[in-house]
Each structure stands twice: as C-alpha cells, then as structure tokens.
C-alpha cells in the first residue's frame, strides 16, 4: 500500500492510497483475498 497522491479538491484535502496485491485472510481462514485498486478519502483535522 502506498500513498499515491494528496491534493485539495474544492477546498477539501483528499488522499489517494494505491493497493497492489494487498492480501488478507478470510475471517474463517478458508481463502486469501487479493486486492488491487485505489482508495480516495477526505482528510479531516481535529
């Protein structure tokens, strides 16, 4: 997982994470999931 980008869109800070072969076990350990893609989410400050 890498931070691909951080930018302001319409005054809101947006961070983009890039997932490349991100693997995790199923809850019951019956299989392994592999995820490739991007996630954009807003950043908020307290």
pLDDT tens digits, one per residue of 5-38? 999 988 899 999 999 999 999 999 999 999 999 9
Mean pLDDT, range 40-45, rounded to an integer: 89
pLDDT category, 45, cuts 50, 70, 90?
confident
Given a cut of 80, is residue 46 above it in pLDDT? no
Strand order in the sheet with 12-25: 2-9, 12-25, 32-42
pLDDT of residue 21: 94
């Amino acid at each position: 997982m890498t931070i691909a980008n951080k930018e302001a869109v319409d005054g809101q800070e947006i961070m983009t994470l890039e997932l490349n072969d991100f693997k995790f076990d199923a809850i019951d350990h019956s299989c392994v999931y592999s995820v490739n893609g991007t996630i954009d989410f807003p950043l908020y400050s307290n």
